[in-house]
Each structure stands twice: as C-alpha cells, then as structure tokens.
Chain A
Amino acid sequence: MDPTGQADKIFAALAGIAEDPLSYAEEWKRKTGRQVIAVLPMNFPSELIHAAGALPVVMQAERTAPTDGRSLLYEYYCGFTRSLVDQAATKKLGVFDAFLLVDHCVALLGAADAIRFELPDTPVHLAQYTASMDEPWTPPQVQGKVDELKGVLSEICGRSATDEGIIKSINAFNLNRKMLREIYDLRRSGEVPLTSRKIQVLVKSSMVMDIAEHNEHLAQLLPMLKAGSYTSNKPVKLHLSGHFCHAPHPELLDMIEDCGAVIVDDDLYTGYRYIATDVPTERDPIAALTRWYFDRNTNTPCSTRAQKNVDWEKYLSTSAQKSGAEGIIVLMAKFCEPHMLYYPELRKEFIAANIPHLLLETEHESPAIEMVKTRVEALIETIRLNKTKAA
C-alpha cells in the first residue's frame, strides 16, 4: 500500500474512534477489566488516571440534539454542557466509573451537578483548581488538589499510582503531545496537506484513546506525512481561534477551507491548545503536574484563567505572525461566557495589529453553513484584496 493510502487508513481508524469514543471505552474496559474515567475539560491532568491503570476519556459532545437532558439544564447553556447532561440523562455514560473535573466554569459545574443527580451511584469529584494564577498561594493550593486527585483515583481504581508510574505516564503523554506538535509544525510549514478535519481527528482521538495505542498510530503516521508532497495553489492562510471545551463541527472547518483558505495554525481546545504544553520532567511528578497547569496558561493563554501578566490577544497576533496567517477566524461556542467576555480584547488587538478577522458563533445543532459561508468568503476576499493592493 502506498504511504498516502496507509496514512488514510490510520486517519480513518482514528476518525472512527473520535466519532464514537464511548464504544472504544467499552471495548477497552471489556479487554482490560479496568476502570474508565470521564474527564471534564480543560485542565485535567489525564496522566494521573493513566498512572492509576485506568483509561482517561476527555468528554466529547455528541452530534445529536439534546432530548431528556433538557429537563436538567436550561437551553442557554453551551452546547457542550447540554450534550454532556443529555448523554447522562439518556443513559449513555454507563461505561464510566467516575467523572472528574478541576475546572470550575459555571456552566460546567451546572452540568456536573446534573450528571451527579442523574447518575447518583457514580462519583463526580471536583478538585477545583484556583483559576487566578497570580497569587503566591495558588500553586500550593493546586498542588494540594493534584495530590487529592491521586488519592481519589486510588480509591476509585483500587490501586495507588506510584511516583515512577506517574512519571512513565507523563512521558507517554509528553511523547504524544510532541508528535502531534510535529504534525502541527508540518502544517505550519505548508509542506503537508493536512485539513482541519484531519487535525481534529488526531487531537480528539488522543483525548479519548489509550495513550500508548495512540502513540503507535502517530509513530507510523509521522514519517508518512513527512514523505508526502504538496503543491500549494496559494490559498489564504488563516488561524482558527477559540472554541473551548469541545470540537467545532468538522463541516464548518471543511467549509472554511473550501472557501479558499488553508488553516495554518489554531489555538482551539480540540487542537493546539490541548497539546501545546508538556509536563515538566521533574523528579516530583505531583509538582510537575502542578507546574503544567501554570505553564499551559503562559504558553497558550486562556480566558477561563485570570492572569494579569499574560495576554491571549498578544499571543494570537504573535502566533499569526509566526505562522504567516493572514487572518484569524474566532470560533466562539454560543453561551461561552469566558469567551464572550474576552472577545472585545481580542478585537481591539486585531484592529490595532491590522489583522483581518471574523467572529463566528457556533451552535450545538448543525450550523447553517451557507449563511456562514458568505461571511467567510467576504473575509477571504478582503484579505486577497489587501494583498493585491499591497502588491
């Protein structure tokens, strides 16, 4: 089989898992006899779960419109939280032995509490990480929570993770992130025709799969991608930003690229934000996982955190400069408050830095692609026009 065919085969396998993570988790549980733990985004250290011998699964939104879950969460919550609650209410989450979270987004807490009501026999544990990063008392508080999670996992899984075990898990996840970042580098270089849909498949599958298995796939895939050839027809280069907690619909990503754009970079949660930062390789793995939480926000700032000395807007304008992105599309999940609050700061920066941009608000239900398409086309034409004028 030619390298492209083999690569397509790997992508197809991973896409299937990304599309149906619950079936994968059930199969994993059946094969291993071990626990499967649901993780709520966006800052949970999955390494701890892995070290306890269980499968960490970052919860994903389903494509279907909420039904029974509507009686547990109002319609003005983000699509992700409504989908989680609906999955609980429609009894699809039986594979999970526990639900764990460290983020205290107000909508996420509402969803977690509804899940707890719906699944009263399954632990739903909040080890709340302080979201304000500036104070000297925040790191010890977060470290206490990492330690607390280690103890909780020991109770749930019936086995304690050793320091050596956690370090091994950290190394496995670091390797995964490293390989994914290499793929991102190929994408930025323009040497590889990687669509946003494919990138999403790679990141999403890494969120839900056994990390060793995912690493094997990536190890096979990377050389194939590096060997590939690509003829660019000089499309407009864009950066996709935002969309916390869950993945944007792939059709939306396809549409943007079909309009004549290539996505050279992103800071989506189901994208670069998830893989940007490695856990430091320190001797004390609890301290390392604590530092990771702070490093993540410094590397890829997030408006769900409160930190005076980092700026998401500066990060974006700098990223665009580095990747050569000629414009930025901000994807904002409807009802996402941290994003709604921060958007004017982004807009001010884009205007000041003369970066063409477009805000697209996404909804859980299928997007009205044709209506959105006109706006994307307008952005791309504006960029092309600017380039022509500049030439």
Chain B
Amino acid sequence: MSIAIEKSQSKLITGKPPVIVNRLVSTRSAGKMVKDYWDRVFTARERGATVVWYNGAALNPLFQAAGIEWCHGEAFAARIAAMHLEGPAQETGEEYGYNQELCSYARTTLGCSVLTQKQAEIVPQANEPDDFPDIPSEAVLASRLPPPDFFVNAYAGCSTGQQWDEISYRMYGKKLPFFKVSYPFLWGNRPDAGYLRGQEWDDASQYVAAQLYKLIEFLELQTGREFDWDVLRESMHYIKRAAKLRVEALELCKTAPTPAVFWDWVASIAPINFLPGTQELVDYFARVKAEIEQRIIDGVAALPSERYRLSFDGIMNWTKVGWLANKFSEHDAAVICGRYTHSSFWHEPHLIDEDDPILGMAQHYLLCPFNHSAKVQSEIMLQNAKTYGLDGVVFHSTRTCRSSANGQMVMAKAAQAAGLQTMVLEGDVADASFYKDEILESRLEAMLETIDARRIR
C-alpha cells in the first residue's frame, strides 16, 4: 500500500527541514463521502425531500429510517470552519446580536440560519452558484442549507446546545414542529456510579431510550409514514460493524511508533458521526484498518521521527487542524489519541443490539464525551495513557465551549499526579480569532523539554 507524504509548510517559516507526516491514504475518501452527503442535503428541497435540522447526538439512523434528509448543525459549522468559510456566517450572527463569547458552533449555524432565510426569500430553492447572485462567493456555502421542515434537539452534556435550538425555533417564527430529547448528565451521585455502570447509568439509559421511542412517533407524524424499523436495524448493523472496525483500528495505534495519528482520526469523524449507515461506511473503516495493519507489518510510522506520544483533550478546533498537525509533527510529537476521537461516536459498539437497537443508541448518546464528570473523564484519560503509552496530555481550552472545557483543570491535576506532562492550548472550536500561536509554540516546547528532562532523570 502506498504511503502519502505531506510536507509541512513550516520550512518556509522556520527554515527547519521539512517534517514528514505519513497521513493515511484511506481517509482521503472521507472527503468525497462527506461532500456527496452535503450536496445531497443542499438539493433536498428540489427533490421534494423533508429536511430536519438537528443538533447533538448522532440521531441520523432514525432519520435515515424515517426517509428524511438530515442536517447536523454542528457538523455544518465544523465543515465551513475547516474550509475557512465561517467568517460570513459569524459576521451575520454578530450583526444579529450574538456576542463573540457565545459558543462559536451556535453563532456560526445561527448566522447560517439568517443567511438561509435571506436566500430563501430571494430564490426559494437555491442550489446552483448562479442562484446566489447577490451573495459574496465566500458566503455562498453558509447560505446553502435548505430551510428545515422541523427541528430535533438532542444535546447531551451542554445546556447551551439545547437552548441553541430553542433559538433556531424562534428564528423561524415558532411555526415549525420541534422535538427535544433531554439527557441526564452522568454526574455520579452514588458510590456505584461509574463509566457504563451503576443505577444512575441504567436509569439514564432507560429515560433516554423512552424518549427515542417518542421521537419515532414524532417522525411518523411529520412524515405521514410508518417508521421503517427494518431500515433502522440495517443502518445500525452497518454502523456497528463500522464502529467496531474503527475501535479496532484505534487500538492498533498502541504500536510505537504509531501507524496513525489523532489527525487521521479527526478526518474520520464526519463519516462515523452523521453519514448514513451503509456498506460504504463499513468499507471505509475496513480500508482504514487494513492500511494501519499493513503499516504495522511494513514498519511504517505515521511520524517517523516520533519521540513523544501525546493525547489531545477537548473538542476539535476546526479552523486549525492542518496547522496543529504540522506544529506537533515539527516537534516530533505524535498525538496518538484524544477525547473527541476516542471517547465518542459509537465507540462502545458492543452496546448495540442490531435487532433491538434503541437502548444501545440511547446509551451512546449519553456517552457524549462531555457528558461525564471530571472524575470519570480523568479515569478514561489515565486508562488511555496506559493503553497508548503516553508521555503527556494537551488540553485544548476551547474559549467558547464550556462543555468541553469543564473538568479539564481537574483532569490536568490527575494527569500530573500520574506522572504525565500537561499543557493547555488556548483556542476555539470554530473561531480562529481565539488562537495565540506563539504561546502554543513556547508551551509545547517547554512541555517536550520537560518530558526529555524527566527521561534523563
């Protein structure tokens, strides 16, 4: 299997030799899969499809079985941020009255809502670039979402996530149907509480599962069709297989030097998070796993100069993914795992009963990586440190995402107590203005030097 070699741009800036990063080739097809998905969403109106806007958990198998098109707000915000096209949506949000300290996912998608509504007034079924004559080219993408037929909110771990859809509902004149799934935060009141265990976990699982059945009734009402349970079972069959392959592939990165890095897994978030459960999804993760296995056989490393093994805690930072990948690689630091990639997105596939999938789905929604106490987060982090042989943890302090920032300082203390080196990287999920590049540089250098010093001792 061929190996893609990307040369970092850092040579132009620092004068250092180019850093060789062997990114997985197999993840490249994710780009096309995701683009095709969004193109399908953009053309939903002209195809006469029903469109749901939703936020939070991966409810897409339910929408797939209901025969509707789904638009995940955060995913769209992440996409336009990763394409560096978030500016027009965020500026529109600001003009509308949103403060810059508000969740940048919410600001971005609410800005998109304003743009979508404006565009729908001009051309009701806009799709082709010519349909957007009065909109600057960089704002076209942010204006392309098809207006929703109804909303579904299912946000675990973050009160803002629920309130954000309440505002979307109001922005559309309070006229559209709106269903809300509420999640208990897995706080851990009782001594028996813990990860996947205890009465609290059982009760929460049942509470959410019951709401999913109600959601299915709601979907039937909106579509006027009977919910297709066979499609749901089939979708969850593929998702379970894909998830299992993904988890197995993640675990292969215990190998040192690692055959794949966190940034490869970031590229695979969209497919597992919101693409339809199909054979194509299974094939994708089978290719990813096969490529990693081959790398292990061939002795190929993701970062041949790997000297440090780190994990990345917090939510992703979509405006800076490539830049960060290069920054860490330049310093021979392989980011092996992360909370967002490894503790999320159908990451406990054994919970899914393909014949009766609702409970397992509810449990995965509860397992949102930001729906746990700091104590449980710390336990997971330390377990990963052991599994992957980590030297340190990088905490992405996400300015406008308190749900991902919650518990980080407690986790940092737990990491330090366990002999791990830690650093805090200040940034944001979808607003590039919160980055301080030079501070990251100096903190990263200091962290790695400390790891070196510890090794000598």
Contact = CB atoms under 8 A, between A and B. Distances in A.
Contact of A113 (B165, B180, B211, B374): B374
Nearest to B157: A106
A216 interface: no
A128 B159 contact: no
A106 B402 contact: yes
Contact of A72 (B96, B211, B409): B409
A125 interface: yes
A114 B184 CA distance: 19
B420 interface: no
Nearest to B207: A141
Interface residues of B, number: 48
A382 to B, nearest CB: 19
A290 B102 CA distance: 31
Interface in A291-316: 303-304, 306, 308
B162 A72 contact: no
A139 interface: no
Nearest to A107: B402
Interface string B168-186: 0110001000101010110
Interface residues of A, number: 45
Interface in B296-338: none
Interface stretch (A43-51, A73-81, A202-210): A73-81
Interface string A168-184: 00000000000000000
Contact of A130 (B99, B182, B375, B408): B182
A344 B406 contact: no
Contact of B402 (A76, A128, A304): A76
B54 interface: no
Contact of A341 (B164, B185, B211): B164
A73 B97 contact: no
A338 interface: yes
B406 A137 contact: no
Given A109-B406, A306-B166, A340-B98, A135 B397 contact: no
Contact of A137 (B165, B166, B211, B413): B211
B180 A306 contact: yes
Nearest to B174: A308
A138 B181 CA distance: 11
A128 B160 contact: no
Contact of B178 (A106, A308, A340, A341): A308
B59 to A, nearest CB: 16
A134 interface: yes
Contact of A135 (B103, B180, B185, B374): B180
A341 B102 contact: yes
A288 interface: no
A58 B163 CA distance: 24
B97 A343 contact: yes
Contacts of B158: 106
Given A106-B160, A335-B101, A345-B170, A134 B180 contact: yes
A341 B155 CA distance: 16
Interface in A335-365: 335, 337-338, 340-345, 347, 361
Contacts of A105: 159
Contacts of B102: 337, 340-341
Interface string A97-112: 0000000111101100
Given A106-B403, A345-B170, A76 B163 contact: no
A372 B229 CA distance: 59
Given A337-B102, A340-B98, A344-B98, A71 B167 contact: no
A197 interface: no
A194 interface: no
B163 A104 contact: no
B169 A308 contact: yes
B410 A338 contact: no
A71 B160 contact: no
A128 B185 contact: yes
Contacts of A104: 159, 185
A342 B185 CA distance: 23
Nearest to A309: B174
B163 A304 contact: yes
A308 B177 CA distance: 10
A148 to B, nearest CB: 9
A162 interface: no
Interface string B392-425: 0000010110110111111001000000000000
A334 B409 contact: no
Contacts of B375: 116-117
A341 B410 CA distance: 28
B214 interface: yes
A61 B351 CA distance: 43
B424 to A, nearest CB: 9
B103 to A, nearest CB: 7
Contacts of A128: 184-185, 187
Interface in B338-380: 373-375
A117 B189 contact: no
Interface string B92-127: 000011110111001000000000000000000000
Given A138-B182, A341-B167, A114 B409 contact: yes
A247 interface: no
A40 to B, nearest CB: 13
Nearest to A345: B170
A271 B80 CA distance: 42
Contacts of A71: 409
B182 A338 contact: no
Given A109-B406, A338-B159, A341-B167, A126 B187 contact: yes
Interface string A136-164: 01100100000000001000000000000
A205 B169 CA distance: 38
Task: Choose among B157, B403, B406 the residue with the greatest number of A CB atoms under 10 Å from its CB.
Answer: B406
A340 B180 CA distance: 21
A259 interface: no
Given A72-B409, A343-B97, A132 B103 contact: no
Interface in B179-238: 180, 182, 184-185, 187, 189, 207, 210-211, 214
A130 to B, nearest CB: 5
A383 interface: no
Nearest to A339: B99
A113 B211 CA distance: 27
Given A114-B409, A137-B211, A341-B106, A131 B162 contact: yes
A106 B182 contact: no
B47 to A, nearest CB: 29
Contacts of A132: 162, 180, 182
A113 B163 contact: no
Contacts of A74: 397, 405, 408-409
B99 A343 contact: yes
Task: Choose among B99, B160, B210 the residue with the greatest number of A CB atoms under 10 Å from its CB.
Answer: B99
Contact of B406 (A106, A126, A337, A347): A106
A345 to B, nearest CB: 6
A182 B405 CA distance: 43
B210 A137 contact: yes
Task: Choose among B106, B166, B373 the residue with the greatest number of A CB atoms under 10 Å from its CB.
Answer: B166
8 contacts: A109-B406, A114-B409, A131-B162, A306-B163, A308-B178, A338-B160, A340-B102, A341-B167
The 6 closest A-B pairs by CB, nearest first: A344-B97, A110-B406, A126-B187, A340-B102, A132-B180, A337-B160
Given A114-B374, A340-B98, 14 more contacts: A74-B397, A106-B158, A109-B185, A109-B187, A110-B407, A116-B374, A127-B189, A131-B182, A304-B163, A308-B174, A337-B402, A338-B163, A341-B106, A341-B160
